Structure 1
Amino acid sequence: MSDPGWHRIGPDPAIAAWARAALPVAARAIADSAEPWRCGGTWFVGVDALPNGPDGTVAGAAFPWAALPLTPLPLHRAQLSVIRPGYPQPSPEESASAFRFRQTRDAAHLDGLLPVGPDRRRMIREPHAWILGLPLTDIRAAPLVVWEGSHRIMAQALRAALRAHPPEHWGDIDVTDAYQAARTEVFRTCPRRELPAAVGEATLLHRLTLHGVAPWQGTEQGDRIIAYVRPMLASVADWVAAP
């Protein structure tokens, strides 16, 4: 497939240097956070948890832009996604069906497509430019999972759902049904691929690539920590533009 919707970068010494500098900062942020762990204490979501600068610098280490096929953009504080052995476990905040989906479909989702209101209808509220994962530990269990080529199916379905509405209102349009139908098509037609990565590597995803986290397998011990950055685009129209 010429464009699977993901790209592995490295290993590269600049990426490794940033990850080594970020790890102790991340460990302190995780330890000091009041955010509860989910999935029975096996998942720390860690949105905006890493105190990097807008240029990505952390603990004096420059963000490795030169090692990446990306144009530098202002960055938010990175997410620190932490998975521990045993993930996932049942938890009171998650329904039985949601837990099964986490076990059997890796909790597959699109970033930026948020559940809104009491009925948790999906709306495009955070239009990211791309998704970049930078491992801070060498744990390979519970890797990132992607469905290759899913970005094309998702883009087509979401554009069709939005077409009848003015672009300036696209962030307020309920796209739940179109998203769920497209996700079913992705599961039926797109290869699922696990993407374990080590310190010094990075994984770049197209913003519309369906992705999730595999259940923990094997006997590795320790935290699997990945820092994720997702700079924002100016509009939802840019987000659903053709891949």
Structure 2
Amino acid sequence: MVEGFETRGWVRFPFDPVLADWVAHARPRARAALDDPALAHWHDCDGTWFVGVDALDNDAQGRVGGSDPLSGQAMRFIADHLGMLPLHRAQVSVLWPGYPRPRRGEGAAAFRYRQTRDAAHVDGLKPTGPDRRRKVQECHAWILGLPLTEAGPDAAPLVVWEGSHRIIRAALAAALADHPRAGWADVDVTDAYQAARREVFDTCRRVPLPARPGEAYVIHRHALHGVAPWAASADAGPDGRMIAYFRPELPGGVVQWIDPS
């Protein structure tokens, strides 16, 4: 499993009753977030996506709604091989039929990219300013996805480009190499990132990762990933396709983030 993660940049875990129990506690709290006026700004894409950043009211050990701390196979894998960190409030990402529609303020080119390339991205490299230039702004350690609802495999699953983490990491490391480490967070990596992304599209296999409540997947922090469109034939309940995501940040900033370990 470790070798597969290092090669592919992702690993999926089968049904785990310990995790299923956590989901049973977390799901009502995630549903409540959808109607929280303080989180209303996360409803986007003409009502087809609740972005839900920091929307789940869990604590640093993952307790939510009276649950035990978050545990199970996926968490053991993280603790043994990637390093455990205090957990932030999880993102609650919910998709419904009709996704994708344009996000607020999204131009035609960005929307086409959402439609045709699943809005593929590496977490933490956010476009800013009128020219949408990118720096490493958030240094996530890993990405843990925990499905909260039953949904068909074509109901806007997360997708990942297999092996992309190696291409992305090498390109960004090269872009940063000539700059003092203390200033890496201020380095514009846009050109290197875009070139690496094109290489990924040309050479890496796109893999959808549908999963059920009680299952989990872990994605490498440098892996290119996105969300597929909701297929016309896809099915899900009224809660849509709901996933909780944890992405704790590394204490060592960009220097630790670019490290291949």
Smaller-chain TM-score bracket: over 0.9
- The answer to whether residue 243 in structure 2 is matched with residue 237 in structure 1 is no
Separation (CA, whole Å) in 2 of partners of 1:21 and 1:11: 16
* Match of residue 100, structure 1, among 93, 112, 118: 112
Alignment of 1:112-151 (within 5 A): 112-140=124-152, 141-151=155-165
**1:9 match:** 13
Shift of 1:36: 4.4
Deviates further, 181-190 or 218-227:
218-227
Aligned-pair identity in percent equals 57
Return 5+ residue gaps in structure 2 as ranges.
Answer: none
* Match of residue 86, structure 1, among 92, 95, 98: 98
Alignment of 1:68-217 (within 5 A): 68=74, 69-71=77-79, 72-91=84-103, 93-140=105-152, 141-217=155-231
Shift of 1:121: 1.0
Query: Residue 92 of structure 2: SS of its match in structure 1?
Result: strand
User: Which amino acid in structure 1 is aligned with residue 78 of structure 2?
Assistant: L
Q: What CA RMSD, in Å, does the superposition of the two structures yield over aligned residues? A: 1.4
Separation (CA, whole Å) in 2 of partners of 1:91 and 1:40: 7
Shift of 1:92: 5.0
**1:23 match:** 27
**1:220 match:** 235
Task: Please list the CA deviations of residues 181-209 of structure 1 after superposition, one character each: whole Å capped at 9, or x if unmatched.
Answer: 00000000000011100000011000001
Residues 1:114 and 1:92: Cα distance change in structure 2 (over 3 Å): closer
Return 5+ residue gaps in structure 1 as ranges.
Answer: none
Shift of 1:120: 2.3
User: Which amino acid in structure 1 is aligned with residue 260 of structure 2?
Assistant: A
Separation (CA, whole Å) in 1 of partners of 2:96 and 2:66: 28
User: Which amino acid in structure 1 is aligned with residue 217 of structure 2?
Assistant: T
- Give the length in aligned residue pairs: 243
* Match of residue 48, structure 2, among 42, 47, 61: 42
**TM-score, structure 2 normalization:** 0.89
Separation (CA, whole Å) in 1 of partners of 2:41 and 2:23: 23
Shift of 1:60: 1.7
